[in-house]
Each structure stands twice: as C-alpha cells, then as structure tokens.
C-alpha cells in the first residue's frame, strides 16, 4: 500500500506585511495626489495645470516611471521641520514620447511654490545624471519660485549643481526647458543653458530681478508680464524659442520637437516615412521669387514648397525675423534650415540675426542634423549702432559656427549673395559640401550700382551725361561679373539648377552626404567669438 505523505501547509503571509503593503499604497497615493484639493484648485484658477497633469500630456500614456517619489527634505528652522511633504516639490522620472525614452522633471508649485531646496535639487541632479548615462533627452517643466530662502546657501549650491550638469550635457543630449509659471532669479539661468525654451503666453515669466527690485533700484514701474513674459522673450530678448497660447498646445509641440531630434549625439535624427515624392517638382518656385533683387518675397513659402508636406518648425520666429531658422524633413530625413528673409530688412545680416543663426547651426552640428542654407542676402546691415554694438564680433559667431560644423552642408543661392554676407552664409570657401544656385543668382562683392560708383567714379563724374554713363557701366559690370554662371565657371557653385527641381536635387545631395565623416583637430576646446 502506498503511503500518502501528509501535505505541508501553505506558508502564511504575515499580517504585518499585508498591512505594510497597504500602507505603502496609501502613502504613494497621497504623494501622487499632492498637498490638497484646495492647492490644486488654486493652481487651476491661475490657468495652470498641475505637475502630474503636465507630465501626462508630455509623455505617452502610462509610460511614466517616477524616481524618489517619497523623498523629503531634512531642513530645520523657520517652520520647515513641521512641513515635510513627499516629493519635496519636484516630480522626477522617465517615460516615452512616441516610444522613445525621455527624462523629465517638473516643479510642483503646490508644494513650497515649487521653490528649490537641497533635497529638491538632489532629485534633479539625479535625473539629469540618469539622462546623460542613458543617452536620452531631458525635459524640464519649470514652475517655481526660485531658491528656497529658508534653506539658504544649500539651495544656492543646488542650483550650481544643476548649471554644471546642463553644461556637461550640452551637445550630448537634447535639453528642453518648458516655462509654465514663474522662473526667477538664479533659476532663470537653467533654461538659458538648454537647447530650447518654450513659454506660454499669460502664465510664463522669466527674469533675474523681479518688478519690486527693479522699482526699488531704478524707480521703474513694470509688471511681471512686461518685464519677463512670453512675448517679451519671444520678440525682444530672444530667450524664448517657442511661445504658445496654452499648456496643452505647448506640450504637444514639445513632443513634435522631440520627434525631430536624436536621443543623443551618438545617434542620427530619427527618420520618418514620407508620402511626399522625393522627385516632386515645384513649378510654383519659378514664380515665388522675383528675379528683380529689390522686390521682397516670403522665404517661408519657398521652404514650405521644398520640404516634406510643407512642414517647417521655425525656431525663434519672432526674434531677428530677417533670418529664418528651423527644422524640417527632406525625403523623411531631418534637416536644419537657415535662410535669409527678404520681407524683413531685405534679409540682411545684423547682430541679432548672426547670433540666432550661429546658435542654431551649432545645435544642428552637435546633434548630427544636416544643414541647408538658403541665401538671398544683400550684406550686413550698415550703421553706427551695428558697428558700436559689435557686429564684427557677432557676425564672426555665425562664420565660426559654419566653419566649425562637420555635418552635411548644402548651400542654395536664390538671388543676391553680396560681400562678406555671401561668405558667412555657408559658401563653398568656408566648407559647404555642395553649393547650388538658381539662374536668378547674383554673387558679387556688392550690387552692380554700388560697384560701378566705386570703380568708375572718375569716368562718371567727368562725363557730359553722368547718368547715361553710370547706367552703361552698371550694365557692363553686371554682364561681366554678376551673370548667373560666373561663380559656376570658377567652381564656387557646383551647379545652376531649375528652381522647380530644387526638392529632388536637395534630397539627392543629402542622401549622398549621409555617410559624410570629418576629422576634427585635437584640442581641449576652441575659443569661440564672444
């Protein structure tokens, strides 16, 4: 007879473990919900979302993994020992945007006004280090009152650690700052160190010293919005790259920008399927650009005719509008576009335009984004203000950025390309891989009228009919040195193309250059123009 062994009893889960798990869930839920319903209502009353609502809009649904949710500060004094909320006013973690990993931290204004203390800063330090280690973009959702005054120098040191990490991550991973409330004092330097800054009209403000300090020091009366609102930074300071009417639209556009950027500097930008035919001709380009160099037109329309589906994400649209910078796709591949804008100041280069384009070129080069330069430039803006403001120094920034760039670079000259501005706008002589021109191009030291007045000044002055002689000399100069094939004959333009063929020509060029490799000299770092 088989002896049936006695079955061992099932292990009994300790009652205290069940209780502790239940306590854990309650604790984490309280941390997730935040300080109080009243604080949430106050946030919504200002037209602002909570930190977690923002994260939910930014990241793919259900993808957020939080880090140090139960962190609390250790500070004492000024009543802090009695207020130790979980998260310490900042939510940190990672998730995905269209399936790609993105790290994020978001200030929770409901807790200490989003002010930064030691524990708060250490959470941000950790997530920044994780983003660099993982090679993934970092997005900060800023809505805080600056340094936590009660924690003194510890809070200031926390900002120092953030700044140092921004600089170390610069050019390694994309860094995006989204300003969704106040960002004052030292806190404002954090967004300034990142690649892109988004703001929301009416609720975002950035400034080093607030209206009260300005009033006490200078006597000027100014509101927060007029001092550092979204429109101010979009139009006057150039701090804001993008401005939107509401948070939902803003965060949706952050997602779109991320779709155009690589995860890090070791990967190419992500390609996308393209239903726009690579061989598509655009007869409209023949009529969009007047052959007469003095007539204005909107370069945006040219860009939209050339790029995939007309989609062009313009950067700093309202600052230095005489030059356009932005991201688009050609044949599904991301390109950075730098273009003169003839409807504003005739498309001249000046101090602001040079700074704007230089930083954009360096960003593209850092993240392996090929560069397309569309040229229609009469020169640098003349004037005492420009010269005294350092147009030489600032113009050199753009020249330096192009000379330094090792990504694929293609130049297209539509009409005018005069003087030093022609060189600076990525000419073959400073390293463009390919240079194309339309048959309407005019490449010269200066316009025919100005050149003739210099070269033939004596002959014109001594003539019986100066105007007739001047007109004849202008025609001679233009025929001799400014005809459409002059640069091509000297090898400074690779081909003169039919404007309608622009898109297929550019797509073929960038496809060929996709495997470009360039060696850099060995050095600690370069000494860029200030």
The residues annotated as belonging to the active site are 185-186, 420-421
Q: How far apart are the first and last CA of the chain?
A: 96
Q: Tokens 């706008």 belong to which residue? A: 425
Q: Tokens 């009695």 belong to which residue? A: 82
Helix and strand tally (H, E) in the chain? 21, 17
Closest CA relative to residue 175, chosen from 142, 143, 145, 210: 142
- The total of other beta-carbon atoms located within 10 Å of residue 301's CB is 14
Strand partners, 199: 179, 243
Q: Is the dihedral of CA 271, 276, 280, 284 positive or negative?
A: negative
Per-position b or e across 205-215, b if 16+ CB within 10 A of its CB: bbbeebbeebe
Closest CA relative to residue 209, chosen from 220, 199, 193: 220
Q: Phi and psi dihedrals of 407, rounded to 5? A: -75, 170
Q: Within its chain, how far is the Cα of 398 from the centroid?
A: 16
Q: Phi and psi dihedrals of 199, rounded to 5? A: -135, 160
CA pair distance 400, 357, nearest whole angstrom? 11
Q: Which tokens go with 309? A: 């589906």
CA pair distance 138, 497, nearest whole angstrom? 42
- Annotate 404-458 with DSSP letters as a single string: H--S-EEEEEEEEEEHHHHHHTT-GGGT-SEEEE-TT-EEESS-HHHHHHHHTHH
Query: Half-sphere exposure of residue 129, counting CA atoms within 13 Å on the CB side?
Result: 8
Q: Tokens 């598509």 belong to which residue? A: 280
CA pair distance 254, 106, nearest whole angstrom? 14
Asked whether the beta carbons of 327 and 315 are under 8 A apart, the reply is: yes
What is the rounded (10 degree) CA torsion for 401, 403, 407, 413?
90
β-pair type (196-200, 371-377): unpaired
């Amino acid at each position: 007879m088989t002896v049936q062994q006695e079955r061992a009893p099932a292990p009994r889960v300790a009652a205290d473990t069940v209780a502790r798990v239940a306590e854990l869930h309650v604790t984490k839920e309280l941390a997730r919900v935040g300080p109080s319903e009243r604080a949430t209502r106050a946030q919504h009353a200002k037209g602002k979302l909570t930190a977690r609502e923002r994260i939910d809009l930014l990241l793919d649904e259900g993808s957020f993994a939080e880090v140090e949710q139960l962190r609390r500060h250790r500070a004492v004094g000024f009543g802090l020992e009695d207020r130790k909320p979980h998260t310490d006013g900042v939510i940190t973690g990672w998730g995905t945007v269209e399936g790609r990993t993105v790290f994020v931290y978001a200030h929770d204004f409901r807790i200490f006004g989003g002010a930064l203390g030691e524990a708060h800063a250490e959470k941000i330090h950790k997530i920044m280090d994780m983003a660099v280690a993982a090679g993934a973009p970092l997005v900060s959702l800023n809505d805080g009152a600056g340094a936590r005054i009660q924690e003194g120098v510890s809070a200031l040191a926390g900002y120092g650690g953030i700044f140092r990490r921004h600089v170390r991550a610069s050019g390694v991973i994309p860094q995006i700052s989204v300003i969704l409330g106040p960002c004052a004092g030292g806190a404002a330097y954090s967004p300034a160190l990142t690649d892109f800054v988004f703001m929301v009209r009416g609720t975002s403000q950035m400034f080093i010293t607030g209206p009260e300090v300005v009033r006490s020091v200078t006597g000027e009366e100014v509101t927060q919005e007029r001092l550092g609102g979204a429109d101010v930074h979009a139009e006057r300071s150039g701090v804001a790259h993008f401005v939107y009417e509401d948070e939902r639209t803003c965060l949706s556009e952050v997602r779109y920008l991320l779709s155009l950027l690589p995860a890090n500097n070791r990967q190419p930008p992500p390609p996308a399927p393209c239903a726009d035919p690579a061989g598509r001709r655009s007869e409209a380009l023949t009529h969009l650009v007047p052959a007469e160099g003095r007539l204005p037109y909107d370069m945006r329309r040219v860009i939209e005719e050339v790029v995939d589906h007309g989609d062009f994400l313009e950067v700093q649209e309202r600052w230095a509008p005489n030059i356009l910078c932005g991201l688009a796709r050609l044949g599904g591949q991301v390109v950075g576009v730098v273009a003169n804008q003839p409807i504003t100041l005739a498309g001249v280069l000046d101090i602001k335009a040079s700074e704007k384009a230089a930083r954009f070129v360096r960003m593209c080069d850092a993240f392996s984004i090929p560069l397309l330069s569309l040229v229609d430039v009469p020169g640098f803006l003349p004037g005492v203000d420009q010269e005294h403001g350092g147009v030489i120094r600032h113009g050199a920034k753009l020249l330096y950025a192009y000379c330094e760039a090792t990504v694929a670079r293609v130049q297209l000259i539509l009409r005018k390309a005069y003087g030093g501005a022609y060189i600076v706008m990525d000419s073959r002589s400073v390293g463009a891989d390919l240079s194309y021109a339309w048959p309407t191009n005019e490449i010269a030291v200066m316009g025919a009228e100005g050149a003739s007045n210099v070269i033939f000044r004596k002959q014109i002055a001594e003539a019986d009919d100066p105007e007739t002689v001047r007109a004849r000399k202008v025609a001679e100069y233009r025929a001799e040195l400014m005809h459409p094939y002059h640069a091509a004959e000297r090898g400074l333009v690779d081909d003169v193309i039919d404007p309608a063929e622009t898109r297929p020509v550019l797509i073929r060029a960038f496809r060929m250059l996709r495997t470009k490799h360039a060696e850099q000299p060995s050095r600690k770092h370069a000494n860029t123009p200030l």
